[in-house]
Chains A and B, each alone.
Chain A
Amino acid sequence: MTRPQAIPATKLDQVDSFADHVRSRPDALVYFLCNVGDADAQVLLLPELGTPAKRQAVVVDAGRSNKIPPLLQSLHDQQLLDLDDATDDPIALVVATHPHLDHVRGMPELFAKHGDRIAEYWDPGYYHVLAEYHRTMLEVESRPDLVYAQPTSGFRRWISDVAITVLSPSVQLRNRYDSYGIEINDSSISLRIEFPVHRYLEDRQKIEEGEALSIPPTRALVLGADAQTTSWAYVLGDFPFLFKSDTPAAKAIAAAQGNVDLLRGDVMKVSHHGSKHGVNLELVERVNPKVTLVSSVADQGQFNFPHAVAQDLIREAIFPTEGLGGYPDDFDPDMNLFYTADEDTSGATLGTIGLVMSLGACSMWRFGDEPGDVITFGDARRWKVDLW
């Protein structure tokens, strides 16, 4: 176990308004990785769409009480999300990646406060004996209009101009839940979020003239939940990409996928709080993230997250040294590897990570909150250099 590296305070400033910045970028997807300690709580504010233009939210895990509902309320208060809208489902989707306490502890509270605005709820279908599992399922049962699903790998869902692909659990794991055969972390729903995924119309004349169809570029996040080695092994098999081998078979598979690695992600939320069992080198190399994020405590956690070996593995994938390591002690921020437990060199907690992402730019904001604190937009500090 090693601490996240201290970040020079001079790399952040507090001159801009976070809410104003989001308002000025209607095309941006806003991602919050909340500071909830060794737990997960994430909110995605989808790009504006429709007339009048509106944003919808997706919640992935609520690992602590009093974090997600106040954040949604702040977005509402700043007119970035309309929680009063009873017709357009402002919370399009809630995902409980798996029913461990550190991922569902705040789920009953989320339903109690905003359940009438939630359109759809996914969990992996892994029954767990926690009180929070019972209470959440009671909330689901009490809402007959709520769509409920247990998705497995390969399932795709389009919401707004965002495509959500379920990477795990593989259906091969799903069909073995009924015993103790599957470790609960390996039931995790991990997701790939791609945007903007616009429909496009072919120009018949250009096609007849032989002009190749150009597919618009996109950005993507890979949200790893707590999936571990077994689950990722299935993911690597379910989502193959063999283009680099240059064999006819590899080229054919790659061509069928549009020559895009289906695991590619500009942003990767590392699985299982930086556990040594949550990531492997090949996975991070396949995702090839520009920004890598870890949700964990600093050094007081019960399970010693983030594990030093996992940190080194991530660094090797991002900045290969042929396994020699030897990274400088202040190198993580330079390779865009950040932790919710980050502190700056003055000892100030950096807390929840907010990314405002569009095709051409990605700004990072830190909200200074401790795990038990409510996120306050007015406390946001902006990373001076955009991440792309």
Chain B
Amino acid sequence: MYQQREAPRTTDPVGLWEPEIKRADDTVIEFVPSDADEYVVLDEIIGDQVRLAFTAWPSVDEEGRLRFAESGSEPLPVDREELRGSLDRLREIERQLVRPLRIGDVFLVRGMTPDPEEWERLLDITGAARRAASRAGVRAVAQPVEGTAITVRIEDAGIAEDVPVPSWRRPPEPPGAAPPPRPPAEPTPGSVSSAAV
């Protein structure tokens, strides 16, 4: 098979992942993870049962990839209402948003045990984790951007400027007087094929 995309650079982990963690009022919680913390995912909800998946807290490499232990995730069955109660209590302690359980919720848990009521500390990192997963999907399959060839400077009005156009995309010069230049294109938010969540 022909090559589908450019090979990635080899990058090594540079330390533990430190996601941005926010309170309900949007202020940032200053927190430094330790390698004893667990990365806990709400993987499935069926009826009154929840499947959590937990693994050692990940590292991050120079290009932002999360690096998880090769031992993989372990499933942990828990009762839905008991988990909900524990989460509500622990989120209130951290002044994080108290909200219903959703598949795809992610937590940093310190003092992990099979019983959520015994967890020492919990931080809801769902937003950061979803952005990381989204980037992981796109990064794996999309062509990397070449150096500074496409440097988009976004001004307050959201207008892209100074975007070099590759010569093969430039239309031929028209004969006679040049038409008035078109306004620069506005940048678009990400789609399902980009890193937007």
**Which residues of A does B touch, CB under 8 Å?**
65, 89, 100-102, 105, 108-109, 119, 125, 127-135, 137-138, 140-142, 144-148, 174-175, 177-178, 180, 183-184, 275, 302-304
Q: B106 to A129, Cβ gap below 8 A?
A: yes
Contact indicator B141/A134 (Cβ below 8 Å): no
Q: Quick check: B1 and A147 within 8 Å, CB to CB?
A: yes
Main secondary structure of the interface of A (DSSP, over half): loop
The 9 closest A-B pairs by CB, nearest first: A131-B68, A141-B140, A137-B140, A302-B77, A127-B133, A140-B140, A303-B46, A129-B129, A131-B55
Say whether B72 faces chain A, with CB atoms less than 8 Å apart: yes
Q: Give chain B nearest CB distance to A193 CB in angstroms.
A: 22
B23 within 8 A of A: no
B51: contacting residue among A101, A119, A131, CB under 8 A: A101
- B130 engages A131 (CB within 8 Å): no
- CB<8 Å pairs between A and B, sample of 29: A65-B72, A101-B44, A101-B73, A105-B73, A108-B70, A125-B192, A127-B136, A127-B137, A129-B132, A130-B43, A130-B53, A131-B58, A132-B73, A134-B65, A134-B67, A134-B132, A134-B133, A137-B137, A137-B139, A141-B139, A144-B7, A145-B4, A178-B191, A180-B104, A184-B103, A302-B49, A303-B44, A303-B46, A303-B47
Q: Contact between B1 and A145 (Cβ–Cβ < 8 Å)?
A: yes
The answer to whether A178 and B192 touch across the interface, beta carbons within 8 angstroms, is yes
20 more contacts with CB within 8 A, not counting A137-B139, A146-B1, are: A100-B44, A101-B73, A127-B136, A128-B104, A129-B129, A129-B133, A130-B53, A131-B72, A133-B133, A133-B136, A133-B137, A134-B67, A134-B132, A134-B133, A138-B136, A144-B6, A145-B1, A180-B104, A302-B51, A303-B47
Smallest Cβ-Cβ distance to B194: which chain A residue: A178
Q: Are B196 and A178 neighbours in the complex by a CB distance under 8 Å?
A: yes
Cα distance A65–B71 when bound, in Å? 10
Does B31 have its Cβ within 8 Å of any Cβ on chain A?
A: no
CB proximity of B145 to chain A, nearest CB, Å: 15
Q: Find the A residue at minimum CB distance from B10.
A: A142
Write the B1-44 contact mask toward A (1 if CB under 8 angstroms, else 0). Answer: 11111111000000000000000000000000000000101011
Q: Which residues of chain B in 117-174 are interfacial with respect to chain A, using CB atoms and an 8 Å cutoff?
A: 126, 129-130, 132-134, 136-137, 139-141
Whole-angstrom distance between the Cβ of B6 and the nearest chain A Cβ: 6
- Given A89-B1, A183-B103, A137 and B6 touching (CB < 8 A)? no
CA distance A141 to B192 in the complex (A): 18
8 Å CB contacts to A: which residues of B49-106? 49, 51, 53, 55, 58, 65-70, 72-73, 75, 77, 102-104, 106
